[in-house]
Amino acid sequence: MSTGPVGVAVVGAGVISAEYLRTLSGFPDVRLLAVADLDGGRAAAAARAHGIPLHGDVPTVLAEPDVELVVNLTVPAAHAPVAAAALRAGKHVYGEKPLTPTPAEAEKLIADASERGLMLGGAPDTFLGAGLQSALRAIRAGHIGTPVAATTTVQSLGPESWHPDPAFLYQAGAGPLFDLGPYYLTALVALFGSVSRVAATGARARARRTVGSGPKAGQSFPVDVPTHVTALLEFASGASAVSTFSFDSAVPRVRFEVVGTEGTLAVPDPNTFRGPLRLRPNGSADWRELAVRGRTEGRGLGVLDMARAIRAGDGRIVPGTRSTHRASGALAFHVLQTMTAVTESAARSQFVPLAAQVVPPAPLPEDWDPTAATLG
């Protein structure tokens, strides 16, 4: 069995890559070896900025023998082909959300990874941050009694005001449901377990949008997906949640509250890694803040957790089973199935059941330290 830091390549040097590269550079248990992008200049710039020895196109990066784990940060439409190529090259894969645009593509990747004895995982890993892990511990400790329901809301006017190239965020595999939904749905599955069925509505406010910043400012692009989605989620545990995902609101809002038999927990924004975490017991007129404990570094915690699991020898991911790495392909697949069911329900105006279930990821130990070298 191999020892020492796990060799990592990043494919896709776009906006989100900067945070991944910064965070992964600070983890002694991973070693950044390569970065690839369709734009060679962008790959070279990212490599220079983070002292990465190799840059180039995808085949060049996948041919590097010391690369064991590929972090796939491409646009959603490229998630499946890039991941498939990496698996064929014998590399473990961690991808940005969604895992793939469709469940059929994801199932194929999961089967391929399992057949090859490789790991497959996917974002978001924000639920591994101190904020959501502290919320999970608070619920398990009984602070709100038995969890009964949740309400989540994330709304804004969309990313085109700040993103220099936002068109892909309004294509199939994106929109507010597929772009922001994974943060909320992953956190809900971590808290409540598997989703059993959904009902939803969806709407599109405008057929075209306009880029607001960067070199493409002023250019318009088509909107191919609903931009306001409301979903009712029923969990196998008996709990339920109402979730709204919108790119149509002039009032930015983030809300995540979990109601229990003994109180309500205001959960941190699941698109972040920190707090605050607040509790309001039944009969109280005031919220009180709970301690947020644990390490928080940023995007890449799931990659690190996978790297440590690789060295521990856990190579196979099977839907419905627990993996030693937490941001697993099985979890990302269940969230993708849920979002697909939400889309189908909005189109059909009826409940849509989910057949496949998933085991929620194990909580992190409170003393889990991403900056400590554990792999020799």
pLDDT digit string (tens) for 44-54? Answer: 999 999 999 99
Distance CA 201, CA 226 (A): 9
Same domain, 94 and 188: no
Under 8 Å between Cβ of 317 and 110? yes
Distance CA 224, CA 233 (A): 24
Same domain, 136 and 81: no
Same domain, 176 and 58: no
Q: What is the pLDDT of residue 318?
A: 43
Same domain, 56 and 205: no
With cut-offs at 50, 70 and 90, classify the pLDDT of residue 313. Answer: confident
With cut-offs at 50, 70 and 90, classify the pLDDT of residue 263. Answer: very high
Which residues, 6+ apart, have CB-to-CB distance to 56 below 8 Å? 34, 36, 40, 43
Tell how many helices (H) and how many strands (E) occur in the chain. 9, 17
Q: Determine, yes or no, domain membership for 343.
A: no
Distance CA 73, CA 80 (A): 11
Same domain, 153 and 286: yes
Q: What is the pLDDT of residue 321?
A: 42
pLDDT in tens, 135-172: 999 999 999 999 999 999 999 999 999 999 999 999 98
Chain-centroid distance, C-alpha 236: 22
pLDDT at 317 exceeding the cut of 50: no
pTM score, two decimals? Answer: 0.93
pLDDT at 191 exceeding the cut of 60: yes
Q: Determine, yes or no, domain membership for 215.
A: yes
113: domain CATH number is: 3.40.50.720
Closest CA to 152 of 238, 287, 258: 258
For helices 130-140 and 175-192, give the axis angle rounded to 10 degrees: 40
Same domain, 122 and 221: no
Q: Residue 227's domain spans which residues?
A: 127-290
Q: Determine, yes or no, domain membership for 361.
A: no
With cut-offs at 50, 70 and 90, classify the pLDDT of residue 177. Answer: very high
Same domain, 60 and 144: no
Indicate the Cα dihedral angle 20, 23, 28, 32, nearest 10°. Answer: 30
My answer on whether omega of the bond before 124 falls inside 30° of 0, hence cis, is: yes
For residue 107, which amino acid is it? E
Distance CA 209, CA 207 (A): 7
pLDDT at 319 exceeding the cut of 70: no
For residue 225, which amino acid is it? V
Percent of the residues in the chain that have a pLDDT greater than 70, as a whole number: 97
Q: Determine, yes or no, domain membership for 173.
A: yes
Q: What is the pLDDT of residue 1?
A: 58
Under 8 Å between Cβ of 127 and 133? yes
Q: Determine, yes or no, domain membership for 187.
A: yes
Q: Determine, yes or no, domain membership for 352.
A: no
Integer CA distances (angstroms), 34 to 16, 45, 267, in order: 16, 12, 37
107-127 average pLDDT score: 95
List the beta bridge partners of residue 92: 69
Q: Determine, yes or no, domain membership for 350.
A: no
Same domain, 229 and 307: no
Q: Determine, yes or no, domain membership for 308.
A: yes
185: domain CATH number is: 3.30.360.10
Same domain, 262 and 139: yes
Same domain, 58 and 155: no
Same domain, 134 and 181: yes
86-98 average pLDDT score: 97
**Domains identified in the chain, total number:** 2
Structure tokens at 120: 């497959």
Same domain, 100 and 141: no
State the DSSP code for 362: P
pLDDT in tens, 8-45: 999 999 989 999 999 999 999 999 999 999 999 999 99
With cut-offs at 50, 70 and 90, classify the pLDDT of residue 316. Answer: very low
